[in-house]
Amino acid sequence: MNAQDRLGQRAITCFKAYDVRGELGKNLDPDVAYRIGRAFAEARQAKRVVVGRDSRASSPELAKALIEGLTDGGTDVLDLGLAGTEEVYFHTGFQDTDGGIEVTASHNPINYNGMKIVGRGSAPLDPATELPPIVELAQSGEFTPVAKKGSVTDYRHARADYASAMADFVDVAALKPMKILVNAGNGTAGPTFDAIAAELERRGAPLTFVRMHHDVDSSFPNGIPNPLLPENQPRTSDAVRAEGADLGVAWDGDFDRCFFFDDKGDFIPGEYIVGLLGAAFLEKSPGEKVVHDPRVIMNTRAMIGEAGGEAVVSKTGHAFIKRKMRDVGAIYGGEMSAHHYFRDFYYCDSGMIPWLLVVELLARKGKTLAELLSERMRLYPSSGETNYELADPDASIQRVIATLGDKANSRDDLDGVSLDFGKWRFNLRKSNTEPVVRLNVEADGDPALVAEKQAELAALLKG
């Protein structure tokens, strides 16, 4: 295999189900990034594209190569520089461009990077029809010559437009004095949060912020920012308690996910935030549709139903959730992994809009987050997502199905396999991006049943 063929092979293996994720020096490097930019320009016939990058040490070089590929393909680039994924989404729609690309590996290990890619209107690319032409061109490297190289516009000043749009999601007049601890994890969130906080202050919001791990640091001295991992949560929990904060908020590396801690410092699992935000939207807009993923559903469906809305299930993953929301016109969508999607934000996910909405909700209700959700968590306990590294994931999943499938009241294969037994249910699925099987168990008001069934399923998976 010659050098060009090896480069093409690296390019094709870094494409995943709906984005790019690769190991640096193995299947992702500046040469591959260049090919992806060049392929996007040609396959999409893109005139203007927004590009941003996260805070990883490898991101500036990859973004530079990506931009070079785009401009060599005749595409003009609006370069946001250091920016969150949702800033790329926002400007792709707001500036009416042909697409947007964020260089990021989100919460993956330090030796990884990747790209999140959207088309016009910040719509996800269809993995069956729109992504393959880009993959094929990136692999072949056989690009059509263009008459004129594209230009690059430094667009870092445009953050003010984004910050203003974020502040528009909250009714400042409804807010009450509140102390909020925010943990950026030394990722990309810090500068963007500061812009939003400044805009809120300009509008008179009575909020006080305590910043933690706020400076951007590509060495991630406090670890890769991924608040979903239980071992990463105590730092934020302890800080909330130490500061006497009313609320804690933490973000992942590119801040398209945000995570909540109540005033006691307790971490709130993402599925309960989905139900809470869905019900809040329905209070203002009765009868709307809310999209959710199939992993943990009992509380979400109950809250949506009680609020007079219609719950619509979608396969897990941002491309699938966004497409389903567009198909049904949903006002909001959420995943238990702390991705939250909004119709008024180009049907995209945001890590900044959720905390703004929660702060307003707490003010309107006059309650703490613990007071709003403790009863919901008691009514519908869940295990949290458990990952299992297995020698033969398919065989392990089939063993579970063979043992329990006939005993279930219903089975759903939308995303992995979900078996419902009335008083309890589980979802079991292979990861799209990691070599693991993910298990979620939930029950109707019985935490002991959750623990019992989780242990039973773990034993079956391990054989």
Q: Which of 58, 59, 106, 122 is catalytic?
A: 106
Distance, CA of 14 to CA of 5 (rounded, Å): 15
Q: How is the beta sheet containing 76-82 ordered, strand by strand? A: 20-23, 112-119, 99-103, 48-53, 76-82, 152-154
**What is the SS3 assignment for 55?**
coil
The answer to whether 55 is a known catalytic residue is no
How far from 97 is each of 23, 44, 142, 155, 256, CA to CA, in Å?
29, 12, 25, 13, 20
Contact 114, 19 (CB under 8 A): yes
What six digits make up the tokens of 434?
């990691």
Q: Which amino acid is at 461?
A: L
Q: Which of 417, 432, 440, 430 is nearest to 389 (CA)?
A: 430
**Rounded to 5 degrees, what angle do the CA atoms 302, 307, 311 make?**
55
Bridge partners for 99 per DSSP: 119
Q: Which of 392, 82, 127 is nearest to 253 (CA)?
A: 82
What six digits make up the tokens of 273?
């935030």
Which residues, including other chains, have CB under 8 Å from residue 205's CB and lie 6 or more apart? 170, 172, 175
Bridge partners for 442 per DSSP: 382, 425
- Residues with a catalytic annotation lie at 106
